[in-house]
Amino acid sequence: MRYTGNKVIEEDMQGKATMMPANIQINNKKLYIESYGCQMNFSDSEIVASILIDEGYTTVADYKDADVILVNTCSIRENAEQRVFNRLRNYQAVKKTRPGAIIGMLGCMAERLKSQLLERDRLVDLVVGPDAYRSLPELLQNAESGQKAVNVLLSREETYADISPVRLDNNGISAFISIMRGCDNMCSFCVVPFTRGRERSRDPESIVREARELLLKGYKEITLLGQNVDSYKWNITSKGEIIDPKEDVVRFSGLLEKVALVSKELRIRFSTSHPKDMNDDVIETMAKYDNICEYIHLPVQSGNNNILDKMNRGYTREWYFERIDSIRRIMPNCAISTDIIIGFCDETDQDFEETYDLMDRVEFDFAYMFKYSERPKTLAERNFIDNVPEEIKSERLQKIIDLQRAKSLLSNQKMIGKECQVLIEGISKRSDNQLFGRNSQNMVVIINKDDLKKGQYVDVLVDSCSSATLFATVIKKNNN
């Protein structure tokens, strides 16, 4: 109601306060939101839904039933943008049957492609960037009356801290909480600093409050989200005063601790960590609390120092190995995953071999692997040439995919005969008689259904595995 609350006050001043309840009822418009890209985009869509539900919208599962179709877009690689273009073309069919329907583009593609999509291709009626979602109700009204509806301004302050996200597409068990927005790192390949703006952290009190609310609603797992959670830093009081720097500055390890203390029943995950900033405080806090999952996503991007330098990552191969050693020393059972980009500008066979070698040595439990895709405005686009031929990129990508498949299988095989705790998330895709969940290490575990329910924690013994999944027998059901 916060947002609507502000609106009521405005309308009060215009003598229209009584319109508000009626408005909620008559604005029985149907909203469809589709999200692409990272978890942050999915989390943002939940904020958008909250803002519009407060305005009287209801969400629908099929875009063909919607009065307003919003696509929350991703720009991270060119193929992500292509997928969105194709989807927007599909939506044009709705316009033919219902000319009044509004199609809007949210998120990372908004700023760069606003003119093209709104004016040239006329694929959308509304364009709203990641920091401007509070203006959506007003912009939707503009769009409905045929006016221009664009707001792509980035903010240095907006964190949507006061908005309780509406959990979309959820299992009622796990939820995301955004703890910060934007990124100041300027990795040379990355478009995020341009699409999402400067880094800003959210008030820890509002984060803890959101975690408590989720717990009360029956959620069992939360994932704290930020582009670089290790640089989380809060030193502004709720009144906006800067705290004495010697006093209570809350950093990521402190925030993790506050959230872990909400309840032992609430599992905590987070993403994404940055090797240059992930310090031992974070690892030690993870080790201290059983409910902080033993899983770190630590993107290395490349195993070669020249390439890391050109990528502006701020660390070396040796530094990365040292961070891995620290994680394994402090938390021997911690699972580690990574992101890899192959075929970055000037990457030689030898440079690539060093990435392969790093993956071989670290033995990641999981990896997301990408071909370099040049993005407009980035440092790499301005300063380097995207000169690794497509066939070589494909070859290198295939080599690391094959390597990682073997490493993931190895990591799963090491679990056979071991016990672990699983949080049940739902019915398995392969059979209605089986359930799936995850262990602390984020490995997917399949168990027999019996009388178990989603949201329950069970202790299991792992019997067998594939490279993607563990199969296990329940040895203890916990009473929750």
**Cβ(284)–Cβ(326) below 8 Å:** no
Residue placing its CB nearer to ligand SF4 in the complex, 187 or 447: 187
**Which partner from the list ligand SF4, ligand 5AD, none does 316 bind, CB cut-off 5 to 8 Å by kind?**
none
Cβ 317 to ligand 5AD, closest distance in Å? Answer: 16
Residue selected from 372, 404, 420, 423 as contacting ligand 5AD according to rule CB under 6 A: 372
How many alpha carbons lie under 13 Å from residue 7 in its C-beta half-sphere? 20
Residue placing its CB nearer to ligand 5AD in the complex, 76 or 256: 76
Contact between 112 and ligand 5AD (CB under 6 A)? Answer: no
**Cβ(156)–Cβ(137) below 8 Å:** no
Q: Amino acid letter at 81? A: E
**Cβ(359)–Cβ(317) below 8 Å:** no
C-alpha–C-alpha distance, residues 46 and 33, integer Å: 9
Contact between 206 and ligand 5AD (CB under 6 A)? Answer: no
Residue placing its CB nearer to ligand SF4 in the complex, 223 or 228: 228
Length, in residues, of the chain: 480
241 DSSP assignment: P
Closest listed residue to residue 446, CA positions, set 429, 457, 456 = 429
Q: Give the helix/strand (H/E) hosting 281.
A: helix 280-288
Token readout for 92 is 């044009």
Contact between 292 and ligand 5AD (CB under 6 A)? Answer: no
**Which partner from the list ligand SF4, ligand 5AD, none does 375 bind, CB cut-off 5 to 8 Å by kind?**
ligand 5AD
Determine the interface stretch with ligand SF4 among 60-68, 189-197, 261-269, 317-325 (rule: CB under 6 A). Answer: 189-197
**Cβ(58)–Cβ(30) below 8 Å:** yes
Token readout for 91 is 């939506």
Contact between 274 and ligand SF4 (CB under 6 A)? Answer: yes
C-alpha–C-alpha distance, residues 6 and 104, integer Å: 24
Contact between 407 and ligand 5AD (CB under 6 A)? Answer: no
- Residues 310-349 interacting with ligand SF4 (rule: CB under 6 A): none
C-alpha–C-alpha distance, residues 141 and 391, integer Å: 49
Bridge partners for 424 per DSSP: 437
Residue placing its CB nearer to ligand 5AD in the complex, 2 or 368: 368
**Which partner from the list ligand SF4, ligand 5AD, none does 227 bind, CB cut-off 5 to 8 Å by kind?**
ligand SF4
**Which partner from the list ligand 5AD, ligand SF4, none does 77 bind, CB cut-off 5 to 8 Å by kind?**
ligand 5AD
Residue placing its CB nearer to ligand SF4 in the complex, 52 or 345: 345
**Cβ(468)–Cβ(408) below 8 Å:** yes
C-alpha–C-alpha distance, residues 133 and 129, integer Å: 7
**Which partner from the list ligand 5AD, ligand SF4, none does 251 bind, CB cut-off 5 to 8 Å by kind?**
none
**Which partner from the list ligand 5AD, ligand SF4, none does 372 bind, CB cut-off 5 to 8 Å by kind?**
ligand 5AD
C-alpha–C-alpha distance, residues 98 and 101, integer Å: 6
Contact between 183 and ligand SF4 (CB under 6 A)? Answer: yes
Site string for ligand 5AD, 69-88 (x = CB under 6 A): -------xx-----------
Residue selected from 185, 253, 302, 404 as contacting ligand SF4 according to rule CB under 6 A: 185
Cβ 373 to ligand 5AD, closest distance in Å? Answer: 4
Cβ 238 to ligand 5AD, closest distance in Å? Answer: 32
Residue selected from 63, 133, 160, 189 as contacting ligand 5AD according to rule CB under 6 A: 189
**Which partner from the list ligand 5AD, ligand SF4, none does 150 bind, CB cut-off 5 to 8 Å by kind?**
none
Bridge partners for 128 per DSSP: 106, 151
Site string for ligand 5AD, 316-355 (x = CB under 6 A): -----------------------x-x--------------
User: Cβ of 473: how many Cβ atoms within 10 Å?
Assistant: 11
Burial class of 147 by CB neighbour count within 10 A (0 to 12, 13 to 18, 19+):
exposed
Torsions phi, psi for 192 (to 5 deg): -55, -45
**Cα–Cα separations (whole angstroms), residue 118 to 112, 127, 245, 435:** 11, 8, 46, 45
**Cβ(118)–Cβ(150) below 8 Å:** yes
| Site of interaction with ligand SF4 (CB under 6 A) | 183, 185-187, 190, 192-193, 227-228, 274
Residues lying near ligand 5AD in the complex (CB under 6 A) are found at 76-77, 189-190, 299, 301, 339, 341, 370, 372-373, 375
